[in-house]
C-alpha cells in the first residue's frame, strides 16, 4: 500500500538566531496525499543539522524528530491519525519512519507504520497499516 504526496507548505525557521552552537530549526509543513490515503497531513519537525549546504538544502544532513497529523480517508473510511517520526535526512535520502500513535473517527482501530520513498520527482509513503477489529 502506498500514498503519493505533494509538499504544499514548508516553513522552516531557526529555533534561535543567537546561538551558533544550536543548529536546530523548526518546520511547519503541509502535505496533500492521494492513493491509499486521500487527504491532508500537517507535519511539525525539529531538525538538527549535522552538515548543511546553503547552496542546495537537499545536500544537507540532519537528524529529524516530529509528528504528522493526517485528516482524510483510508480505504473508504474517514478519520484522522497522528504518527511520530524519528530519523535522518542525508543528502536527499530520508530515513524517518513514522509510527501511528493515535487514530480517530472511522480510523480509530488503525495501527502501523510508514516509510518515505522518493523516486525521481515522486514522493511516496509506503504504508504498513493494520486495523484491529
pLDDT tens by residue, 91-131: 778 899 999 999 999 999 999 999 998 766 778 989 999 97
> Model's pTM, two decimal places?
0.87
Q: What residues are paired with 62 via a beta bridge? A: 49, 89
Helices and strands, counts by H and E, the chain: 0, 9
Q: Which domain holds residue 59?
A: 2-131
Domain count, the chain: 1
Q: What nine digits make up the cell of 47?
A: 531538525
CATH code: domain of residue 120: 2.40.350.10
Which residue in this structure is represented by grid cell 504504508? 127
Amino acid at each position: 500500500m502506498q500514498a503519493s504526496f505533494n509538499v504544499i507548505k514548508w516553513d522552516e525557521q531557526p529555533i534561535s538566531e543567537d546561538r551558533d552552537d544550536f543548529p536546530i530549526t523548526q518546520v511547519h509543513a503541509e502535505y496533500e496525499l492521494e492513493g491509499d490515503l486521500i487527504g491532508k497531513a500537517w507535519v511539525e519537525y525539529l531538525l538538527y543539522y549535522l552538515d548543511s549546504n546553503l547552496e542546495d538544502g537537499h545536500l544537507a544532513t540532519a537528524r529529524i524528530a516530529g509528528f504528522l497529523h493526517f485528516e482524510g480517508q483510508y480505504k473508504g473510511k474517514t478519520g484522522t491519525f497522528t504518527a511520530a517520526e524519528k530519523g535522518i535526512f542525508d543528502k536527499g535520502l530520508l530515513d524517518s519512519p513514522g509510527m501511528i500513535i493515535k487514530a480517530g473517527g472511522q480510523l480509530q482501530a488503525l495501527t502501523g507504520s510508514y516509510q518515505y520513498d522518493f523516486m525521481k520527482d515522486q514522493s511516496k509513503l509506503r504504508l504498513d497499516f493494520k486495523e484491529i477489529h
